[in-house]
Structure 1
Amino acid sequence: MSEKLLEDLFIKRSQQKKKTSPLNYKERLFILTQEKISYYDYDIEKGKKKGLKGSVEIEKIKCVETVCPEENAPAERQFPFQIVYDDGPLYIFAKTDEIRREWIHKMKQVVRFNKDLLQKYHPCFWVDGVWLCCQQEVKQALGCRVLETKNGGFSTKGSRRKSRKPLPPTPEEEKSSRPLPPQPPPRQSGPAPGATVIAEYEYTPVTEQDLELRKGEEYTILEMVDTNWWRARDKFGNEGYIPSNYVIEAGNGLERFDWYCKNMNRSQAENLLKAENKDGGFLVRDSSKAGKYTVSLFTKSGGDTAGSCRHYNICTSPQGLFYLAEKHNFATIPELITYHQHNAAGMVCRLKYIVSNRARNAPSTAGLGYGVWEIDPRHLTFIKELGDGQFGVVKYGKWQGQHDVAIKMIKEGSMSEDDFIEEAKVMMKLRHENLVQLYGVCTKQRPIYIVTEFLSNGCLLTYLRESLNHPSPILLLEMCKDVSEGMAYLESQQYIHRDLAARNCLVDANGTVKVTDFGLSRYVLDDEYTSSVGSKFPVRWSPPEVLLYCKFSSKSDIWAFGVLMWEVYTLGRMPYERLNNTEIVEKVSGGLRLYRPQLANERIYSIMTACWHEKAEERPTFQDLVGIIQDLLYELQ
């Protein structure tokens, strides 16, 4: 019998009856395995499943997506999603958005190798013989909305189906000597114009077009033309642009609670709680598993004067209730936290003190103010030199005397400057918590400057070699997770890094790892770099198709990620340290692979070796890797 991947109690809408009525909505127990999704009658009083009511084979599924809830839908039908297969859409209603996201994420992983995945879908329901979104009257009508990711929202490039003929990696950008800049990222889902949002962080205007944000105050969204900057109005009638990642929609999410620390991992939580050193200090963070949350608690119970950290996963019952201790269930996570602030109820102690670093950790903005990409060099103050990179000296400095920045001073003759300047406008729109943010450029003088986010812990390679003492397996895997998530975002934007390695990642004050210098290698004017036999070319991070044919793709980035994982688990050793570049080209093309590091168990090493498959199309995608690493971390918590 196949292993259960997920199990939950959902409301299912009947597909058989033409007219909708309350009788068409019934509660069923859904069970997902690698082979099928099945649903059963369920006896709530006895807590037991009864007879099988239906199932859908995984290989027949063509799309898994959310559905817009119907107008005036009751509370229990606010979080619908759809499973599209030959017989039409199967509509399912989750208890919460977190549960819905967990199921969609897992199902997309399971069906990502299916044939005939859809390119378009219907975002609204099929009701009484018509699609509510596009008013088409044929149930089999082609969807009216394009999926943000091709192939039904799933990546199929990593398919291992033997019947599929392997194709050599031929990215579009290899067809010409200088590729066109990629398209800007698609607009992220979020509030609509007219919606009310709450400032999660303070924001001081840096241009005349910007609007000040005060933490906790409400603002009205007026315009969302730019993904990263929205036009808004405050309560006094002032209007201007605000960074979209500094606000949350009113009434949504946990972000409005001081105890919630978004994008914080286990190691960072432990460091913060130990620094506060308060018995009962706690925070709530995202679990490594998508859609799940963890309570991290510091305790000095049992006479432990040094204190220790405990981590409790917030669980969900089949009825959609949240709990830490099974006897105490709550409709929302805030209710759960409030209860446990007064009652230990199964934990080592109650939640006594909120610990948070949110006030000190406002995220980076896409540019230094709305519309700013050309930076006046007179506004830059140089403080100290950080190092000498491929393109020239890198310095730490301040912009307008207050914002920390890193400034790359581009050595003349080292870069194809005009091509880079055009692409810089697009690169600024790339924004992710695991990418080093490009703030702008100074192009009116020579040398030109590239101005980026500054990360105080510097290069990951140096950090591994000099700053880590006996790191835990979880800490090392969290570093790999950070890089995989940044690269998965680049992958989703059809962006190829070409030079992924520990030396091209940076570490911030909290220990978060961020990828930098993505795409810059295309603009290098250096014969020694562009030749695979040159000492500067990243031979030790390159797969056979790059070494032999210079064919770059997202799959060559996957290979490099496997080598970067090896760097992490050897604490910064040089790959193939006893071989020169010519020997590496010969031996890697002949099947040689890096050995298993002492700090990596077999499961970790299997991730690396999957990245080093000889055939590019057999390697996983970054989205695959994110899911694998998240599941591993969840098991370790």
Structure 2
Amino acid sequence: MNMPDNILEEIFIKRSQQKKKTSPLNFKERLFVLTQDKISYYDYDVDKGKRKGLKGYVDTEKIKCVAIVLPDDNTPPERLYPFQIVYDEGPLYIFAKSDQVRKQWIRELKNVVQSNKDLMQKFHPRFWEDGMWKCCKQEDKKAMGCRVMESKNGGFLNRDNKSISRKPLPPTPEEEKLSRPLPPQPPVSSGFSVGMTVIAEYEYTPMASHDLELRKDEEYTLLDINDPNWFRARDKYGNEGYIPSNYIAQALNGLEKYDWYCKNINRSQAENLLKTENKDGGFLVRDSGKFTGKYTVSVFTKVGGETVGNCRHYNICVTAQDQFYLAENHNFSTIPELIIYHQHNAAGLVSRLKHIVSNRTEHAPSTAGLGYGGWEIDPRQLTFIRELGNGQFGVVKYGKWQGRHDVAIKMVKEGSMSEDDFIEEAKVMMKLCHENLVQLYGVCTKQRPIYIVTEYLANGCLLNYLRDGLQNPTGIMLLEMCKDISEGMTYLEANQYIHRDLAARNCLVDTNGTIKVTDFGLSRYVLDDEYLSSAGSKFPVRWSPPEVLLYCKFSSKSDIWAFGVLMWEVYTMGRMPYERWNNTEIVEKISTGQRLYRPQMANERVYSIMMSCWHERADERPTFQELVVIIKDLLFNM
């Protein structure tokens, strides 16, 4: 039966996305139906001319590219007109019966998806087959395309009917000093709206006079959401004030109120939590490491009564009818119903879910500032406890704010920083708030030296942690460190913020092993000529790409290069990059195409990620958003 909102309907041959090898058995006829929201494909009875069961679908909002695919030599006649629909999980290959039908579908698909976010500017014109792109021979399925989308050849158009073009590189440091434009304010968090009822995930004690107390699991009504980090809200008693936006969740989600749901926890952290609890059948539910909005059940088991147990991870699957399941034939309308069932029945799992393991007692996330609206901190409210180290700008100390909040305090030595410029930007930097960035709480500018007050992370610098503190690291643990950093850098990239000095020494480690990037953007304010010159020993030559070494051209793509070097640091447990070369030799060898070797702990896929960051041409390097997808995919399949 043809539904009224159907745009197109056609029988095509579809190539299986799941098989590692291609054979004639992987090509099957499916009935494809395009609507404004989805492209769905169904089993089809050719003899009876009837649609059968739904085999799969792609939400049109997730489509990043629609393009033709060049057929291989000796292709059968029925597969001469292929095209591809690219979304998060990769390319969906479809074979039309004629070029006219193919053009019609490509045209209609592009009309539907023209306003989508993250449309690709480059694509692969040939198939991904047998573990390799046949057009460019790259062996990473998530590798950036090798052909530019051209508007005259079916490139995407935006609402103004103008071709989407690349963003120009940002100005050089010399141009930047003339105006020093501040980065844009981070956007207001989507998903929240005025009048919405939210639930508190953490307790919050007001730190400023206009803040509102949060009591865990109680509901609040949002009154104003203009600031992305601080929403004005009302509690059930009629009290009003500002609350940190990262302490709340939509009441409709429903999972936050269950102790077994551990938000923002990765696979390694889940395993550490379960092993510490050491109970057979201990379990928790966490966000999927690969897909947003998907969940994983992690279970600890002692099979056969063994003393040292192990962890199993089960992805919660969803049927075409939006039912949840872990084991086939046991489907449920909600995730809590699924959990209740498996608390009493193993039904295909290694064990029934016997004991809830939770991280809900852990400390709440950092807030953007110490209370709403405040960025200037009274130094009399700071207590200095011990010295943590000596950085580019001076001594860093661990201390307390108001005697109860852990903070790190950078005491900026006079003459080391362009203070006035930094103080102006600090107001914007405070609004950058992400779980993988070290939070700037505020500054003390009324005296000299000035203080920079930030979040404190107990496990210290990542470089020292790799060299001295990390015990028996696994491949998953190291890759999750890289994922944490890439997530933080994706946030900076989205907010048009360039780090300029990304390295293991500028990342910190939280008590639960989470990695956070620090000192982003601070190198702009260095007043040390030796640091600013690539000839000086302080300049981060070992983390810099050719365009920085030769032309001082910084961009998010120079941060990508540095991230590749940082990955190398992680997988060598903190070794010095190019340890046998001096700065002059590094510049010469990088310029002639030499790169860091593959670390022993890094497999070929991990090393290919590093190498993708070290393309000589900046525009051929991936974005951080693309790197996150690649790393998540690799973690998901480990």
TM-score grouping bracket, smaller chain normalisation: 0.7 to 0.9
Instruction: Trace 1:264-413 onto structure 2 (pairs within 5 A).
Output: 264-291=265-292, 292-413=294-415
**Residue matched to 2:502:** 500
Q: Whole-Å Cα distance in 2 between the matches of residues 343 and 496 of structure 1? A: 51
Alignment partner of 2:593 out of 591, 594, 609: 591
CA change 1:601–1:12 in 2 (3 A) is farther
The worse-fitting range, judged by mean Cα deviation, of 311-320 and 295-304 is 311-320
Sort the Cα spacing of 1:599 and 1:111 in 2 relative to 1 into closer, same or farther, 3 A: closer
State the match for 1:129 in structure 2. Answer: none
- The question of whether the paired residues in 2 share the 8 Å contact of 1:29 and 1:40 is answered with no
Q: Which residue in the other structure is 1:40 paired with?
A: 41
- 1:59 and 1:221 mapped to 2: Cα distance? 43
Distance 1:171 1:335 in 2: 55
Extract unaligned runs of 5+ from structure 2: 19-31, 45-49, 69-83, 89-104, 125-141
- The amino acid across from 1:198 in the alignment is I
Note if contact 1:435-1:515 (Cα within 8 Å) is conserved in structure 2: yes
RMSD over equivalenced CA pairs, Å? 3.5
Aligned to 1:87, what secondary structure does the other structure show?
helix
| Unpaired stretches in structure 1, ≥5 consecutive residues | 1-10, 17-23, 66-83, 93-99, 122-141, 144-149, 158-166
Counterparts of 1:111 and 1:260, CA distance in 2: 35
Matched, 1:243 2:244: yes
Deviation (angstroms), 1:29:
12
Paired letter, 2:352: R
Q: Which amino acid aligns with 1:476?
A: L
State the secondary structure of the residue aligned to 2:312.
strand
2:420 aligned partner, one-letter code: D
The CA deviation at 1:441 is 0.4
Tell me the residue number matched to 1:58.
66
SS in structure 1 at match of 2:428: helix
Q: 1:174 to 1:289 in 2, by over 3 A?
A: farther
Q: Deviations over 1:331-384 (max 9, x none)?
A: 222221121111111111111121111232311110000001000000001111
CA contact (8 A) 2:65 2:86 kept: no
Instruction: Count residues in correspondence.
Output: 549
Letter in 2 for 1:393: V
Q: Counterpart in 1 of 2:138?
A: none
Conserved? CA contact 2:557–2:618, under 8 Å: yes
Greater Cα offset, 314-323 or 430-439: 314-323
2:558 counterpart SS class = helix
| Aligned equivalents of 1:484, 1:151: Cα separation in 2 | 29
> 1:229 touches 1:241 (CA, 8 Å); kept in 2?
yes
Post-superposition offset of 1:468: 1.7
The answer to whether the aligner puts 1:433 opposite 2:400 as a matched pair is no
Distance in 2 (CA, whole Å) between partners of 1:186 and 1:464 is 34
Q: Distance in 1 between matches of 2:229 and 2:473?
A: 36
| Secondary structure in 1 matching 2:483 | helix
Q: Tell me the TM-score normalized by structure 2.
A: 0.79
Query: After superposition, what is the alpha-carbon deviation per residue over 1:62-96, rounded to whole angstroms, capped at 9, x for unaligned?
Result: 9999xxxxxxxxxxxxxxxxxx974377779xxxx
Deviation, 1:412, is 0.6
Q: Is the 8 A contact 2:221 2:234 kept in 1?
A: yes
AA in 2 matched with 1:446: R
Letter in 1 for 2:67: E
Mapping for residues 19-38 of structure 1, pairs under 5 Å:
none
1:120, distance to aligned residue in structure 2 (A): 5.2
Name the structure 2 match of 1:230. 231
CA deviation after TM superposition for structure 1 residue 114, in Å: 3.6
Residues 325 and 64 of structure 1: CA distance in aligned 2, closer, same or farther (over 3 Å)? closer
Secondary structure, aligned partner of 2:565: helix
Letter in 2 for 1:400: Q
Deviations 1:394-437 (A, max 9, x none): 01111001111100000110000000000000000111111001
User: How many Å apart are 1:533 and its aligned residue?
Assistant: 1.2
Task: Determine the C-alpha separation between the residues in 2 that align with 1:601 and 1:232.
Answer: 49
Cα distance in structure 2, aligned partners of 1:520 and 1:12: 57
TM-score (norm 1): 0.79
3-state secondary structure, aligned to 1:381: strand
> Which range moves more in the overlay, 246-255 or 608-617?
246-255
Contact 1:29–1:42 at 8 Å: present in 2 too?
Answer: no
Corresponding residue for 2:620? Answer: 618
How big is the shift at 1:276? 1.4
- CA displacement at 1:550 relative to structure 2: 0.8
Q: Which residue of 1 aligns with 2:209?
A: 208
Instruction: Say if 1:428 and 1:48 are closer, same or farther in 2 by CA, change over 3 A.
Output: closer
Query: Which of 548, 551, 575 is matched with 1:549 structurally?
Result: 551
Which one-letter code corresponds to 1:478 in the other structure? E
**Residue 260 in 1 paired to residue 252 in 2?**
no
- Matched residues, percent identical? 68
Question: Partners in 2 of 1:63 and 1:568 — Cα distance?
Answer: 32
